[in-house]
Structure 1
Amino acid sequence: MTPEATGVDAVIDVVTAVFLVVGALMSLGAAIGLLRFPDLMSRMHAATKPQVLGLFLMLAAMGLQMRTWWVWPVLVVAWIFQLLTAPVSAHMVGRSAYRTKHGHRELLTKDELEAVVQRAAGDGSTPDA
Protein backbone atom coordinates (compact mmCIF):
# COMPACT_ATOMS: atom_id res chain seq x y z
CA MET A 1 0.00 0.00 0.00
CA THR A 2 1.25 3.48 -0.81
CA PRO A 3 1.55 6.17 1.88
CA GLU A 4 -1.06 8.27 0.05
CA ALA A 5 -3.64 5.49 0.22
CA THR A 6 -2.93 4.98 3.90
CA GLY A 7 -3.45 8.72 4.48
CA VAL A 8 -6.77 8.66 2.63
CA ASP A 9 -7.85 5.61 4.61
CA ALA A 10 -6.93 7.37 7.84
CA VAL A 11 -8.95 10.45 6.87
CA ILE A 12 -11.95 8.30 5.95
CA ASP A 13 -11.64 6.48 9.28
CA VAL A 14 -11.54 9.76 11.22
CA VAL A 15 -14.55 11.18 9.33
CA THR A 16 -16.40 7.90 9.92
CA ALA A 17 -15.62 8.04 13.64
CA VAL A 18 -16.78 11.64 13.91
CA PHE A 19 -20.01 10.86 12.05
CA LEU A 20 -20.65 7.83 14.27
CA VAL A 21 -20.07 9.73 17.50
CA VAL A 22 -22.12 12.78 16.46
CA GLY A 23 -24.91 10.57 15.08
CA ALA A 24 -25.00 8.52 18.26
CA LEU A 25 -25.10 11.69 20.38
CA MET A 26 -27.96 13.06 18.29
CA SER A 27 -29.91 9.82 18.71
CA LEU A 28 -29.12 9.79 22.44
CA GLY A 29 -30.35 13.39 22.68
CA ALA A 30 -33.58 12.37 20.97
CA ALA A 31 -34.07 9.52 23.43
CA ILE A 32 -33.38 11.75 26.43
CA GLY A 33 -35.75 14.37 25.05
CA LEU A 34 -38.50 11.77 24.76
CA LEU A 35 -38.06 10.94 28.42
CA ARG A 36 -37.43 14.38 29.88
CA PHE A 37 -39.50 16.90 27.93
CA PRO A 38 -42.72 17.92 29.70
CA ASP A 39 -45.35 17.87 26.97
CA LEU A 40 -46.26 15.96 23.84
CA MET A 41 -45.33 18.65 21.33
CA SER A 42 -41.77 19.04 22.59
CA ARG A 43 -41.41 15.26 22.79
CA MET A 44 -42.47 15.01 19.15
CA HIS A 45 -39.83 17.57 18.25
CA ALA A 46 -37.21 15.53 20.10
CA ALA A 47 -38.35 12.34 18.39
CA THR A 48 -38.10 13.67 14.85
CA LYS A 49 -35.53 16.43 14.41
CA PRO A 50 -32.33 15.10 16.00
CA GLN A 51 -33.17 11.48 15.24
CA VAL A 52 -33.36 12.04 11.48
CA LEU A 53 -30.04 13.90 11.42
CA GLY A 54 -28.47 11.28 13.70
CA LEU A 55 -29.60 8.50 11.38
CA PHE A 56 -28.19 10.39 8.38
CA LEU A 57 -24.80 10.67 10.04
CA MET A 58 -24.82 6.99 11.03
CA LEU A 59 -25.74 5.91 7.49
CA ALA A 60 -23.09 8.21 5.99
CA ALA A 61 -20.50 6.70 8.33
CA MET A 62 -21.56 3.22 7.30
CA GLY A 63 -21.29 4.13 3.62
CA LEU A 64 -17.85 5.67 4.09
CA GLN A 65 -16.58 2.68 6.01
CA MET A 66 -17.87 0.12 3.51
CA ARG A 67 -15.89 1.85 0.72
CA THR A 68 -18.06 0.43 -2.06
CA TRP A 69 -20.39 2.33 -4.35
CA TRP A 70 -23.26 -0.18 -4.33
CA VAL A 71 -24.14 0.41 -0.69
CA TRP A 72 -24.89 4.12 -1.14
CA PRO A 73 -28.21 3.78 -3.01
CA VAL A 74 -29.50 1.43 -0.31
CA LEU A 75 -28.46 3.85 2.45
CA VAL A 76 -29.99 6.82 0.62
CA VAL A 77 -33.29 4.96 0.21
CA ALA A 78 -33.31 4.08 3.92
CA TRP A 79 -32.68 7.71 4.86
CA ILE A 80 -35.33 9.03 2.45
CA PHE A 81 -37.93 6.68 3.92
CA GLN A 82 -37.04 7.91 7.42
CA LEU A 83 -37.08 11.52 6.23
CA LEU A 84 -40.55 11.07 4.75
CA THR A 85 -42.17 9.04 7.53
CA ALA A 86 -40.90 10.74 10.71
CA PRO A 87 -42.46 14.19 10.06
CA VAL A 88 -45.72 12.67 8.78
CA SER A 89 -46.12 10.44 11.82
CA ALA A 90 -45.26 13.32 14.17
CA HIS A 91 -47.83 15.49 12.40
CA MET A 92 -50.52 12.85 12.79
CA VAL A 93 -49.67 12.31 16.48
CA GLY A 94 -49.77 16.07 17.03
CA ARG A 95 -53.17 16.45 15.40
CA SER A 96 -54.51 13.52 17.38
CA ALA A 97 -53.18 14.97 20.62
CA TYR A 98 -54.69 18.34 19.80
CA ARG A 99 -58.11 16.88 19.11
CA THR A 100 -58.09 14.73 22.27
CA LYS A 101 -56.89 17.66 24.39
CA HIS A 102 -53.60 15.99 25.41
CA GLY A 103 -51.51 18.98 24.34
CA HIS A 104 -50.89 22.14 26.35
CA ARG A 105 -52.74 24.77 24.31
CA GLU A 106 -51.54 27.54 26.60
CA LEU A 107 -48.00 26.93 25.27
CA LEU A 108 -49.04 27.61 21.67
CA THR A 109 -48.20 31.07 20.36
CA LYS A 110 -50.64 30.82 17.46
CA ASP A 111 -53.42 28.25 17.25
CA GLU A 112 -54.09 27.70 13.54
CA LEU A 113 -55.87 24.38 13.99
CA GLU A 114 -58.66 25.59 16.29
CA ALA A 115 -60.82 27.06 13.51
CA VAL A 116 -60.45 23.92 11.40
CA VAL A 117 -61.41 21.64 14.30
CA GLN A 118 -64.41 23.81 15.23
CA ARG A 119 -65.58 23.92 11.62
CA ALA A 120 -65.27 20.14 11.38
CA ALA A 121 -67.15 19.65 14.64
CA GLY A 122 -69.91 22.00 13.50
CA ASP A 123 -70.80 20.37 10.19
CA GLY A 124 -69.80 16.78 10.98
CA SER A 125 -67.27 16.48 8.16
CA THR A 126 -63.57 15.88 8.47
CA PRO A 127 -61.21 18.80 7.76
CA ASP A 128 -58.86 18.80 4.79
CA ALA A 129 -55.90 20.33 6.63
Structure 2
Amino acid sequence: MTVPSAPLTSRQRLLLALLTFDAFLLGLLELFFLPLRLDGIVLPKLGDAPMPVTVVLAVITTPLLVRATAKVVRPSFSVIPLLVWVLVVLGVGATGPGGDLVLIQDWRALLLIGGGALPGALALGGGLGRAAKGASSG
Protein backbone atom coordinates (compact mmCIF):
# COMPACT_ATOMS: atom_id res chain seq x y z
CA MET A 1 0.00 0.00 0.00
CA THR A 2 1.46 3.35 -0.99
CA VAL A 3 1.11 6.50 1.02
CA PRO A 4 -0.07 9.51 -1.02
CA SER A 5 2.59 12.21 -1.14
CA ALA A 6 1.97 15.83 -0.33
CA PRO A 7 1.41 18.21 -3.24
CA LEU A 8 4.38 20.21 -4.50
CA THR A 9 4.99 23.57 -2.89
CA SER A 10 5.30 26.66 -5.06
CA ARG A 11 9.07 26.63 -4.50
CA GLN A 12 9.27 23.01 -5.65
CA ARG A 13 7.16 23.79 -8.74
CA LEU A 14 9.43 26.71 -9.60
CA LEU A 15 12.57 24.60 -9.18
CA LEU A 16 11.07 21.80 -11.27
CA ALA A 17 10.22 24.27 -14.03
CA LEU A 18 13.74 25.71 -13.89
CA LEU A 19 15.40 22.30 -14.05
CA THR A 20 13.11 21.25 -16.89
CA PHE A 21 13.96 24.44 -18.80
CA ASP A 22 17.65 23.72 -18.17
CA ALA A 23 17.22 20.26 -19.68
CA PHE A 24 15.50 21.82 -22.69
CA LEU A 25 18.27 24.37 -23.23
CA LEU A 26 21.05 21.85 -22.72
CA GLY A 27 19.43 19.47 -25.20
CA LEU A 28 19.30 22.23 -27.82
CA LEU A 29 22.85 23.39 -27.13
CA GLU A 30 24.28 19.88 -27.27
CA LEU A 31 22.37 19.10 -30.44
CA PHE A 32 23.27 22.25 -32.35
CA PHE A 33 26.97 22.17 -31.43
CA LEU A 34 27.39 18.43 -32.05
CA PRO A 35 28.84 18.91 -35.57
CA LEU A 36 31.84 20.92 -34.29
CA ARG A 37 35.13 20.04 -35.99
CA LEU A 38 38.75 20.90 -35.37
CA ASP A 39 38.76 23.08 -38.48
CA GLY A 40 39.96 26.43 -37.15
CA ILE A 41 36.57 28.16 -37.20
CA VAL A 42 35.26 27.61 -33.67
CA LEU A 43 37.79 25.10 -32.36
CA PRO A 44 41.52 25.17 -33.13
CA LYS A 45 42.72 23.79 -36.48
CA LEU A 46 44.00 20.27 -35.93
CA GLY A 47 43.32 18.27 -39.07
CA ASP A 48 39.58 18.88 -39.50
CA ALA A 49 38.64 15.97 -37.23
CA PRO A 50 35.15 15.80 -35.67
CA MET A 51 35.22 16.86 -32.03
CA PRO A 52 31.90 16.12 -30.26
CA VAL A 53 32.60 18.20 -27.14
CA THR A 54 28.89 18.45 -26.40
CA VAL A 55 28.81 14.72 -25.66
CA VAL A 56 31.04 15.39 -22.65
CA LEU A 57 28.64 18.13 -21.62
CA ALA A 58 25.70 15.70 -21.91
CA VAL A 59 27.49 13.00 -19.91
CA ILE A 60 28.06 15.46 -17.07
CA THR A 61 24.90 17.57 -17.03
CA THR A 62 22.10 15.05 -17.63
CA PRO A 63 22.74 13.03 -14.45
CA LEU A 64 23.28 16.27 -12.54
CA LEU A 65 19.84 17.49 -13.59
CA VAL A 66 18.27 14.18 -12.57
CA ARG A 67 20.00 14.18 -9.17
CA ALA A 68 19.18 17.84 -8.55
CA THR A 69 15.51 17.22 -9.29
CA ALA A 70 15.43 14.24 -6.94
CA LYS A 71 17.08 16.30 -4.23
CA VAL A 72 15.20 19.62 -4.42
CA VAL A 73 11.79 18.45 -5.67
CA ARG A 74 11.36 14.72 -5.00
CA PRO A 75 12.75 11.50 -6.51
CA SER A 76 9.55 10.57 -8.34
CA PHE A 77 9.80 13.76 -10.42
CA SER A 78 13.44 13.24 -11.41
CA VAL A 79 12.42 11.53 -14.65
CA ILE A 80 11.05 14.82 -16.06
CA PRO A 81 14.38 16.50 -16.99
CA LEU A 82 15.63 13.27 -18.54
CA LEU A 83 12.48 12.88 -20.64
CA VAL A 84 12.61 16.52 -21.73
CA TRP A 85 16.27 16.15 -22.75
CA VAL A 86 15.57 12.98 -24.77
CA LEU A 87 12.49 14.48 -26.43
CA VAL A 88 14.38 17.65 -27.37
CA VAL A 89 17.36 15.80 -28.80
CA LEU A 90 15.24 13.33 -30.76
CA GLY A 91 12.35 15.66 -31.63
CA VAL A 92 14.31 18.73 -32.65
CA GLY A 93 17.03 16.54 -34.13
CA ALA A 94 14.61 14.77 -36.47
CA THR A 95 12.26 17.65 -37.25
CA GLY A 96 14.52 20.67 -36.68
CA PRO A 97 13.69 24.25 -37.55
CA GLY A 98 12.02 24.41 -40.93
CA GLY A 99 11.83 20.62 -41.15
CA ASP A 100 15.61 20.26 -41.47
CA LEU A 101 17.38 17.23 -40.06
CA VAL A 102 19.60 18.61 -37.30
CA LEU A 103 20.76 15.35 -35.73
CA ILE A 104 23.74 14.36 -37.87
CA GLN A 105 23.68 10.86 -39.28
CA ASP A 106 26.90 9.35 -37.95
CA TRP A 107 28.52 8.01 -34.79
CA ARG A 108 28.38 11.38 -33.04
CA ALA A 109 24.57 11.27 -32.87
CA LEU A 110 24.62 7.84 -31.22
CA LEU A 111 27.32 9.02 -28.86
CA LEU A 112 25.23 12.06 -27.87
CA ILE A 113 22.06 10.06 -27.29
CA GLY A 114 23.87 7.33 -25.36
CA GLY A 115 26.12 9.77 -23.52
CA GLY A 116 23.17 11.79 -22.26
CA ALA A 117 20.46 9.19 -21.77
CA LEU A 118 22.47 6.36 -20.21
CA PRO A 119 24.11 8.31 -17.35
CA GLY A 120 20.80 10.10 -16.76
CA ALA A 121 18.94 6.80 -16.59
CA LEU A 122 21.53 5.36 -14.22
CA ALA A 123 21.19 8.40 -11.97
CA LEU A 124 17.40 8.09 -12.13
CA GLY A 125 17.43 4.41 -11.20
CA GLY A 126 19.89 4.97 -8.38
CA GLY A 127 17.86 7.83 -6.96
CA LEU A 128 14.59 5.94 -7.16
CA GLY A 129 16.19 2.87 -5.62
CA ARG A 130 17.59 4.87 -2.70
CA ALA A 131 14.19 6.54 -2.20
CA ALA A 132 12.39 3.19 -2.19
CA LYS A 133 14.95 1.69 0.21
CA GLY A 134 14.61 4.70 2.52
CA ALA A 135 10.81 4.50 2.44
CA SER A 136 10.75 0.77 3.21
CA SER A 137 13.28 0.94 6.04
CA GLY A 138 11.92 4.07 7.69
> Normalization by structure 1: what TM-score?
0.38
Query: Which entry has the higher C-alpha Rg, 1 or 2?
Result: 1
Q: Higher helix proportion, which one?
A: 1
* More strand, by proportion: 2
Higher relative contact order structure (alpha carbons within 8 Å, sequence separation ≥ 6): 2
